[in-house]
Amino acid sequence: MTLRIGCIADDFTGGTDVAAALRRAGLRTALVFGVPNDTTTLPADCDAAVVALKSRSTPADEAVADSLAAQRWLWTKGAAQVYFKYCSTFDSTPHGNIGPVTDALMDAAGATVTLHCPASPPNGRTVYQGHLFVHDQLLSDSPLRHHPLNPMTDSALVRLLSAQTRHRVALIDWTTVRLGTEAVRDAVLAQQQAGVRHVIADALTDEDLAVLGAATLELPVVAGAAGFAEGLGHAYPATGQATAEPWPDRGRAAVLAGSCSARTLEQIAHFYATGLPSLHLDVLAAATGRDVTGEALAWYDEQDPTLPVLIYASASPEELAAVQAQLGVTEAAAQVEELLGTLASHLVERGVRRLLVAGGETSGAVTTALGVRAVLVGEEADPGVPWTYAATRSGDLALMLKSGNFGAPDLFTRALTEAK
């Protein structure tokens, strides 16, 4: 079977988000980490594949090159349509990378029109009259105007995108969207004939996004946040394969945490308070050459194999500041990532078959250490936090990669103790 849709996400968490959305729409979906190459393989029978890049804040030419490489690879897997996933708050600089990447993907595909919609109604992101709202505020009045990397001080999407492309940008407003699929298809065609290349569409609800999806199945390149991708996913005929997932039925369960985000610290406290075995890694001791990995593995071997364990480097803001003052921020992070990556390999070799990893960078370190390039996306334990399935040297693994602030406070305990 060949892919129906391929996605390119401009950051890793966005990749997980859109992969979970496609899976919710009933598509058997794989998630690929980083630019794939000839040796990157997909799990069998996928309907959709998402390539998660780090191209949101990189120089535009790098973002374009990585996105084009991902598009070529998706085409080799049969994807007729490519979806460019960016943030639901349109995070970008005044000159990119949303415009340059979309234009490059369209040029490569020979496309002359595309539709954009960054709405994500469950998260309060809606588009009305071409203006992006975050709950009841315009984007430019919301806290996103103070974002450290991409401060968003304008909410008018036609204006924002026009600054990032030399092509024409226009709006299909909600009065058309509410008329349904045919009306949107006709409006896109009319815009294309008028020389518009980027069409922005209003959307207030998931139903609006389903209309947009059904209207744009034939476009080679489409773009937006996870909601529009889910709308497209619903428009493709369901294969019913999303349920046949290779959940490993034997083996131990573990959490490895490297995130110092407030929510992860709460999840660690919840796990500890439940009385489950947990171990804090001494990062400073590891830096002085103590065999912290060996000690952690010896501790792991002594634990009751029926219980999930937690091993964490995560630290309170005070402790983190003290470690960083001594080792330097980059060196401290490198030490922790090396430590958790090595531990992940050893734990999987020792029979861990359900592994929850907390932290974006930490997840990158763990998947690299395990040699995992692509995973099949499974059920969400919490919004935006799906189980995934990976093949490793030591066997099949259920892997949950969690961005620091995601998941409810009881996620670790619940995800690892609930019977499947």
Interacting residue ranges for ligand ADP, rule: CB under 6 A? 258-261, 264, 283, 313-315, 320, 323-324, 332-333, 336-337, 359-362, 403-404
Q: Which amino acid is at 77?
A: K
Tokens 């919490």, residue? 382
CA torsion angle 327 333 335 336 (round to 10): 130
CA distance 336 to 295: 15
In the bound complex, what is the minimum distance in angstroms from residue 285's beta carbon to ligand ADP? Answer: 11
Which residue, 235 or 399, is less far from ligand ADP as judged by CB?
399
Three-state DSSP class for residue 382: strand
Which residue, 92 or 335, is less far from ligand ADP as judged by CB?
335
Which residue's C-beta sits nearest to ligand ADP? 404
CA distance 285 to 143: 39
CA distance 273 to 295: 23
In the bound complex, what is the minimum distance in angstroms from residue 334's beta carbon to ligand ADP? Answer: 7
Which residue, 184 or 281, is less far from ligand ADP as judged by CB?
281
Which residue, 88 or 261, is less far from ligand ADP as judged by CB?
261
CA torsion angle 234 235 239 240 (round to 10): 30
Which residue, 273 or 321, is less far from ligand ADP as judged by CB?
321
Q: Which amino acid is at 373?
A: R
In the bound complex, what is the minimum distance in angstroms from residue 223's beta carbon to ligand ADP? Answer: 25
In the bound complex, what is the minimum distance in angstroms from residue 259's beta carbon to ligand ADP? Answer: 3
Which residue, 208 or 337, is less far from ligand ADP as judged by CB?
337
Closest of 254, 216, 208, 253 to residue 235, by C-alpha: 216
Pairing of strands 137-138, 131-134: antiparallel
Q: Tell me the helix, strand and coil percentages in the chain, rounded to 5.
A: 40, 25, 35
In the bound complex, what is the minimum distance in angstroms from residue 233's beta carbon to ligand ADP? Answer: 26
Which residue, 19 or 385, is less far from ligand ADP as judged by CB?
385
What is the CB-side half-sphere exposure of residue 140 using CA atoms within 13 A? 8
Three-state DSSP class for residue 172: strand
User: Contact 226/21 with Cβ under 8 angstroms?
Assistant: yes
Three-state DSSP class for residue 218: coil
Three-state DSSP class for residue 357: strand
Which residue, 6 or 258, is less far from ligand ADP as judged by CB?
258
In the bound complex, what is the minimum distance in angstroms from residue 390's beta carbon to ligand ADP? Answer: 18
CA distance 180 to 337: 49
CA distance 377 to 19: 7
Burial of 316 (0-12, 13-18, 19+ CB in 10 A): exposed
In the bound complex, what is the minimum distance in angstroms from residue 82's beta carbon to ligand ADP? Answer: 27
CA distance 31 to 52: 7
Contacts of 91 (CB under 8 A, 6+ apart): 56, 144, 147, 149, 150, 152
In the bound complex, what is the minimum distance in angstroms from residue 127's beta carbon to ligand ADP? Answer: 28
In the bound complex, what is the minimum distance in angstroms from residue 311's beta carbon to ligand ADP? Answer: 12
Which residue, 224 or 359, is less far from ligand ADP as judged by CB?
359
In the bound complex, what is the minimum distance in angstroms from residue 345's beta carbon to ligand ADP? Answer: 16
CA distance 265 to 281: 14
Which residue, 70 or 336, is less far from ligand ADP as judged by CB?
336
In the bound complex, what is the minimum distance in angstroms from residue 12's beta carbon to ligand ADP? Answer: 9
Which residue, 184 or 323, is less far from ligand ADP as judged by CB?
323
